Amino acid sequence: MPDTGQTSLAAFLKGRRSRLDPAALGFAGRRRTPGLRREEVAQRANISTTWYTWLEQGRGGAPSADVLNRIAKALMLTEPEREHMYMLALGRLPEVRYTSVDGIAPRLQRVLDLFETSPAMIKTATWQIVGWNRAAALVLTDYSKLPPNERNLLRFLFSNPEMRKKQHDWEGLARFAVGSFRAHAIRAGAASEVSELVEELSRLSPEFASFWRENEIISKMPGVKQIRHSTLGDIQLEYSSFAVDGRPDLDMIVYNPLDESVAERIRMMVRKNAALEAA
């Protein structure tokens, strides 16, 4: 008797196969039922028809991750569907596959813009800044004035003298940042993607090279960030980080002013800047 997981996987595969359009995928011929035939799915996945048939019959044992990935591509599964198939077949999620990000969806930008008095941004697992609000541009860094490849928190921290001057404890922050960066990259499956950045920073900064060799893994940021701002003076910002739904490679960072008077001054700066841009 097939177990429940195999039975559920079989039903899932049949359902996804039936919804595909054979003509759109280059398969001709009259059909009694909608969707692809089993042998056509096997052909697209480059596996044997017998093996795929067994999977749809709830027998044959657990397929390998490679087979599941081939079937996912053959059936044109979405990422949530691929994850669901893995859970049915192997009882676990697939290994994280990192994908580069150039920007964010408008809905995420609207979320950032709601934080009028709190600098907020979205970064990737490689610490590229791909979204920010007006408060972040005015209080932290105006990333719009930087080339895209320079909008990297780690590169900025170790190669920009102005960033170093703003920090009350640059060495403590930098040491922590390297350990946190390593943890984020590994968790998002981006270890190979950060190798070029690590090599670059190791050449540019002896401090980075030293911190990287320590192999520290740090998962939580300190609660408060202290910076020296040219207009606001010395300010304290409470730090919070949030995972973006469905995107393990993206984090939203929000800095809340601890002093209400600072928050009000940031609000005035943001509104003045918006008025100037609209004029």
Calpha distance 37→18 (Å, rounded) = 8
Q: Tell whether 31 and 148 lie within a shared domain.
A: no
For the chain, 279 residues long, give each residue's pLDDT as a single digit of tens: 445 567 888 999 999 999 999 988 988 878 888 899 999 999 999 999 999 999 999 887 788 889 999 999 999 998 889 889 988 888 887 876 666 666 788 899 999 999 999 999 999 888 899 999 999 999 998 999 988 888 998 998 898 888 888 888 888 888 888 988 888 777 767 667 788 888 989 999 999 999 998 888 776 656 788 888 888 989 999 988 888 876 767 889 999 999 999 999 999 999 998 888 887
| Residue 8: inside a domain | yes
pLDDT given for residue 2 in this prediction? 45
Q: Tell whether 171 and 122 lie within a shared domain.
A: yes
Q: Tell whether 84 and 124 lie within a shared domain.
A: no
| Residue 95: inside a domain | no
Calpha distance 164→156 (Å, rounded) = 9
Q: Tell whether 80 and 206 lie within a shared domain.
A: no
pLDDT given for residue 98 in this prediction? 60
| Residue 41: inside a domain | yes
Residue ending a domain, choose from 90, 121, 146: 90
Phi, psi of 202 (to 5 degrees): -65, -35
Residue ending a domain, choose from 90, 121, 149: 90
Q: Tell whether 202 and 66 lie within a shared domain.
A: no
Q: Tell whether 149 and 268 lie within a shared domain.
A: yes
Q: Look up the CATH number of the domain holding residue 57.
A: 1.10.260.40
Q: Look up the CATH number of the domain holding residue 230.
A: 3.30.450.180
Q: Tell whether 117 and 86 lie within a shared domain.
A: no
Q: Tell whether 129 and 157 lie within a shared domain.
A: yes
Residue ending a domain, choose from 31, 56, 90: 90
pLDDT given for residue 43 in this prediction? 95
Boundaries of domain holding 79: 4-90
pLDDT given for residue 1 in this prediction? 42
| Residue 218: inside a domain | yes
Calpha distance 190→154 (Å, rounded) = 15
HSE of 154, CA atoms in CB hemisphere, 13 A: 32
User: Alpha helices of the chain — where are they, by DSSP H?
Assistant: 4-18, 38-45, 49-56, 65-74, 79-90, 106-113, 134-139, 153-159, 161-166, 170-187, 195-204, 206-213, 260-278
Residue 277 structure tokens = 């841009």
HSE of 168, CA atoms in CB hemisphere, 13 A: 11
| Residue 100: inside a domain | no
* Angle of the 65-74 helix axis to the 79-90 helix axis, nearest 10: 140
| Residue 203: inside a domain | yes
Q: Tell whether 165 and 46 lie within a shared domain.
A: no
Q: Tell whether 118 and 74 lie within a shared domain.
A: no
| Residue 97: inside a domain | no
pLDDT tens-digit map of 148-191: 888 998 998 898 888 888 888 888 888 888 988 888 777 767 66
Q: Tell whether 155 and 31 lie within a shared domain.
A: no
Q: Tell whether 252 and 224 lie within a shared domain.
A: yes
pLDDT given for residue 222 in this prediction? 60
Exposure class string for 9-47: b at 16+ Cβ within 10 A, else e: bbebbeebbeebeeeeeebeeeeeeebbebebbbebbeb
pLDDT given for residue 12 in this prediction? 92
Q: Give the number of domains in the chain.
A: 2
pTM greater than 0.75 (yes/no) = no
